[in-house]
Chain A
Amino acid sequence: MARLDIQNLGPELFDFASFDLAAGERTGYSNYSYWRATVTKFLQSRQAVIALAILGVLLTFTLIQPFLPGQRDPNLINIDPETFRHVRNVRPGAEFWFGTNSIGQDLWARIWTGTRTSLLIAILVATWNTTLGIIVGAIWGYVRSIDRIMTEIYNVLDNIPTTIVMILLAYMLRPSVTTLIIAMCALGWVGMTRFVRTQVMIIRDREYNLASRCLGTPTGRIITKNILPYLVSVIMLRFALTIPAAIASEVFLSYIGLGLPLHIPSLGNLVNEGRQLMMIPAMRYQLIFPSVVLSLITISFYIIGNAFSDAADPRNHT
């Protein structure tokens, strides 16, 4: 910028300028939107975008796979038309893209069906646990008078070994999708409760909440309008992490024989079947494929969950 020649400034410039008071009030419009900033920050993380893409592809594929041409029924025991024998343990090739398992079922179809089932279970469990956890946790955190009794109840529930409860329930009820969901939901929500309660206690006495109390706002509305909106980001994170955890529980239950029946393929079943053939190098593919899918899902959810949580923290919004 060229330096203005001071001597050459016209004398009329030294008159008073008119003063606009209202213009001052309109300044400072900052155009910052919390969600927009969150999304921008999220997209800045390459890992997260890749993970999101992978997950997106997987999900889409599990949903459209049955409708693609030439797909086989996952439970169909394929029989070789020439020899009339079960097409057992065939390595991946042109005919069966992922090969077949020990009784001749198409692994490709089984994996996608299994992923569908596992994800469905996991999402239902996560939704239930999160919802119940938030409701109980928010009330617990906000209403001081019930804190003592709730802490005692929580301590009792928390000390019950969830694994044993899951095993017990899965054992008592007949193996099915519903059983699995019930088993994982029975005590899975307790952890979320404690977490939400802590978060609520942190913001409970901030000035804007005191102001609401001073204005006579009832507790329910304070929780829903003042507190929960602040917890959305941390809750989303927990939700995202609960999904791979649910799948892992399901795999574990399958290991110990309490998983889904074989005619309902799930990642747990598939991993379990594959594990039994692990020592035979030629058959390792039966373990590798479901494991890879499982790993991709788990890792993606972790990365996405963490990236989202970081992005949703206003302190990270530059």
Chain B
Amino acid sequence: MTDREVLLELKNVSVVFTQRGSRQSLTAVNDVSFKLWRGETLGVVGESGSGKTTIGRTIVRINEASSGEVFFKGQRISGKISPELDAEVTRRIQMIFQDPMASLNERAKVDYIVSEGLYNTKAYRDEGERQAKVEASLREVGLLPEFASRFPHEFSGGQRQRIGVARALIMEPEIIIADEPISALDVSIRAQILNLLATLQREKGLTYIFIAHDLSVVRFITDRVAVLCKGKIVELAETEELFSFPLHPYTRSLLSAVPLPNPVEQRKRRPLPYDPSQHDYSQTPPLWAEVRPGHFVLGSERELHTWAG
């Protein structure tokens, strides 16, 4: 495990949004740290307001980190960086967005949409090569090359999402950050996209950060999961470990609230409410400790002791 390469590392990253003109500020991401190993799929789960989308956007430099640092293969990529490094980040780390209806430029042809990254980084020698790359990219996601001359509104939600994947893939990235890629899709189409992502990972050795709020999907597709609550990571563990032995009360509450598609089992369950005031961190800040092998939890000494049993 430890001899795998660390592709991405976040160290104490915080992202604070300030309202221009007023004193009010919103801490979307609060002192988040984690490592991303090559080849894995890391799930980042949380409810709305947990900061999971902001983390993804901070990594690809859409948002700025207010403090802390992001490292890609050992190099710092947060804050002010050289244009060459910025171009490098654009190539190596790409993103897939949530809403297939909003994430494509309606007034541009699919050809332009998919090649946009290529135009920006001039990663092709001539027009012929560019077209070949577009064609190859469309084929890889299961679309027909003739779709390149059409407009997004002619396609269904699942097909549009695949165009978004093709757009990211054509850059030949090493990391893809998938920001809730299936929440806006129909139930039967979600499976298509999940299968596609899994296939691509196998074939191209991609590393994924999978941001989601749907825990059942996360269980199916991820290797490790980080649970976010109000901008802080409260628990991080391998997927099966997290689902079998959730330690932090927020994680347990979250898991208990997800309904199972199985009437007999589901009706036996009771949701566990989560009360944030049960934690008292006024005297000492909580610790981030490895309570079980590979399983990290945020809590005070006493809490960690109780939860670990």
Interface residues of A (CB under 8 A from B): 25-26, 28-32, 34, 148, 206-208, 210-218, 225-226, 229-230
Chain B 98-144 residues near chain A, CB threshold 8 A: 98-99, 102-108, 112, 116-117, 119-121, 142-144
Distance of A213 Cα from B20 Cα, bound (Å):
22
Given contacts A29-B154, A214-B94, contact A207 B120 (CB under 8 A): no
Residue of B nearest to A147 (CB): B20
B57 adjacent to A216 (CB under 8 Å): no
Q: Are A211 and B97 in contact (CB under 8 A)?
A: yes
Residue in A closest to B164 when the chains form the complex, CB atoms: A211
A28-B154, A208-B103 in contact; A215/B97 too (CB < 8 A)?
no
Q: Which residues of B contact A217 (CB under 8 A)?
A: 116, 119-120
A28 CA to B154 CA, complexed, in Å: 7
What are 24 A-B contacts with C-beta separation under 8 Å?
A25-B142, A26-B144, A28-B154, A29-B154, A206-B102, A207-B97, A207-B99, A207-B102, A207-B103, A211-B164, A211-B167, A212-B105, A214-B62, A214-B90, A215-B94, A215-B120, A215-B171, A216-B117, A216-B120, A217-B120, A218-B120, A225-B105, A225-B112, A229-B108
Q: A207-B97, A211-B103 are in contact. Are A216 and B153 (CB under 8 A)?
A: no
Q: Are B107 and A229 in contact (CB under 8 A)?
A: yes
Indicate whether A215 sits within 8 Å of B154 (C-beta atoms), given known contacts A207-B97, A225-B105, A229-B107. Answer: no
Once the chains bind, are A30 and B154 in contact (CB under 8 Å)? yes
Residue of B nearest to A144 (CB): B20
List 4 A-B pairs, minimum CB-CB distance, nearest first.
A229-B107, A216-B90, A216-B120, A215-B117
Q: A211-B167, A214-B62 are in contact. Are A32 and B154 (CB under 8 A)?
A: yes
Query: Min CB distance, B279 to chain A, in Å?
Result: 34
Kindly list chain B residues whose C-beta atoms are within 8 Å of the C-beta of A206.
102
**C-alpha spacing A225/B116, complex, angstroms:** 11
Interface centre among B57, B102, B121, B143 (most CB of A within 10 A): B102
The answer to whether A207 touches B98, judged by C-beta atoms less than 8 angstroms apart, is yes
What per-residue 1/0 map shows which CB atoms of B155-183 lie under 8 Å from chain A?
A: 11001000010010001000000000000
The 8 A CB mask of B23-57 against A (1 = contact, 0 = none) is 00000000000000000000000000000000001
CA gap between A254 and B167 in the complex, in Å:
58
Q: Mark B217-254, 1 if CB is under 8 A from A, else 0.
A: 00000000000000000000000000000000000000
Nearest Cβ in chain B — how far from A206, in angstroms? 6
Measured between beta carbons, the chain B residues less than 8 angstroms from A29 are 154
CB-defined contacts of B104 to chain A, threshold 8 Å? 208, 211
Q: A28-B156, A215-B117, A229-B107 are in contact. Are A208 and B102 (CB under 8 A)?
A: yes
- Whether A25 contacts B105 by the Cβ 8 Å rule is no
Find the residue from B87, B98, B105, B142 having the highest chain A CB count within 10 A: B105
Q: Tell me if B206 is interfacial: C-beta within 8 Å of chain A.
A: no
A216 to B62, CA, bound (A): 10
- Asked if A28 meets B159 with Cβ closer than 8 Å, knowing A218-B120, A225-B108, the reply is yes
Kindly list chain A residues whose C-beta atoms are within 8 Å of the C-beta of B171: 215
What are the residues of chain A within 8 A of B153 when measuring CB–CB? 30, 32, 34
Does B209 sit at the interface, judged by CB under 8 A? Answer: no
One of A28, A30, A148, A215 near B167 (C-beta < 8 A): A215
* 14 additional A-B residue pairs with CB within 8 Å, beyond A207-B99, A216-B117: A25-B159, A26-B144, A32-B153, A207-B102, A208-B102, A208-B106, A211-B104, A211-B164, A213-B62, A214-B90, A214-B94, A215-B117, A215-B120, A216-B87
Chain A residues whose CB sits within 8 angstroms of the CB of B106 once the complex forms: 34, 208, 230
User: B60 in the interface, Cβ–Cβ < 8 Å?
Assistant: yes
Bound-state CA distance A220–B108 (Å) is 16
Closest to B146 in A: A26
| Least distance between B41 CB and chain A CB atoms (Å) | 20
Q: Does B15 contact A (CB under 8 A)?
A: no
Is the Cβ of B116 less than 8 Å from the Cβ of A212?
yes
> Given the complex, which residues of B lie within 8 Å of A148, measured CB to CB?
20
Q: In this complex, what residue of A is CB-closest to B93? A: A214
Q: How far is the CB of B147 from chain A (nearest CB, A)?
A: 9
